[in-house]
Amino acid sequence: MTLGHGMLGGITGKTPPRKKASGKTLPSAGGGRGHSANNGWLHTEIDRMREDKRPLWGDMKGADWHPHAMGEECDRKSILGMYGYRGDPISVKLSRIFDMGKAVEKIWQADFQRMGLLVMANRRRRTDGPPAINGELDAIIRHPYEAGRTILVEIKSINCSGFKTLPPLTLDPGMNYNNIMGSQGYIGTRIRGYMIQLQSYMMLFEQEEGMLLMDNKCNSEYNDYCIDYHPELVERNAARLTRLDEFRPRLIIPPCTCGGKHDGLCNYRTELDVPLADMKKIAGEVDIV
């Protein structure tokens, strides 16, 4: 039996030919999301399903900080998030990238399980503080060659271009730490934040050894940076969050400490304290970048 491969041919001798669609057009696939009018129905439906319809401001967060706040370099951005600020809607593409990162995390957890190394995964723990920190780790694994030795693993995915600019990987935890904390540029800022986040989880779960696992989602290469616990780094960043806690009861937003490079609201009265009510009034009048 031969099959007709033409768009309108149908299966030879089995199904009738499809009729041409006359006068029909596809609905818009979503302006500004990287799709053209020539894309098919799947782009349209994915865009519709993933469209971020959340309001610019959500509910205020509770008292707890997430470990990623420990690694955030901007005071204003940190506390805006606690006040419920969401910023620009998340694009469909970025939404799918976030889910890809979660999938990479699940793959590693499954691999650790199959190797018989997984001690725990997705476990949550909270410290009363100050500051109160509440986070869910990716994994704790046991060392395959040394009984009783455990390692807390923070799993991050990265694209090919970013992977190429990662700091050198060594077998020396101290050198790995210095290489990461000395990294510059956009990737350097990101990986330093990841390091502080890893150290925060090590504090929460009382682990002396950690691993920052950077997975190249383009080709599955990875760098496994083994790192020792650095309490002074955690204490320094915890003190920063404790200081920011003082702004929250007064509904005040502190000055920007990133030079205005993260968000449009950082460029508004950058060096001054700003009442939350004032910031909400101008939030729709600035370019969110």
Radius of gyration of the chain (CA): 24
Average pLDDT, stretch 72-80? 88
Residue 184 to residue 192: CA distance in whole angstroms: 9
Residue 225 burial (10 A CB sphere; 0-12, 13-18, 19+):
buried
Quickly state the pLDDT bin for 37 (edges 50, 70, 90). low
Segment 225-229 shows an average pLDDT of: 97
Peptide bond into 17 cis (omega under 30): no
Give the start-to-end residue ranges of the domains of the chain: 90-241, 251-285
pLDDT of residue 38: 64
Using an 8 Å Cβ cutoff, are 143 and 127 in contact?
Answer: no
Is 137's pLDDT higher than 90?
Answer: yes
DSSP characters for 8-60?
Answer: TT-STTTSPPPPP--S--PPP--TTTT--TT--HHHHHHHHHH-----SB-PP
- At residue 289, does pLDDT exceed 50? no
Euclidean distance between CA atoms 252 and 240, whole angstroms: 16
Cβ-based neighbours of 39, under 8 Å, separated by 6 or more: 26, 29
Give the whole-angstrom CA distance, residue 192 versus residue 18.
57
278 vs 211, residue with greater confidence = 211
* 196 pLDDT above the threshold of 70: yes
Q: In this predicted structure, what is the pLDDT of residue 153?
A: 98
The predicted structure's pLDDT at residue 257: 86
pLDDT of residue 285: 52
More confident residue, 173 or 29: 173
User: Can you give the pTM of this predicted structure?
Assistant: 0.80
**Residue in 131, 154, 143, 145 with CA at minimum distance from that of residue 205:** 154
CA distances from 7 to 10, 21, 26 (A): 7, 12, 17
pLDDT digits (tens, 9 = 90+) for 165-184: 999 999 999 999 999 999 99
In 10 A of CB 250, how many CB atoms? Answer: 10
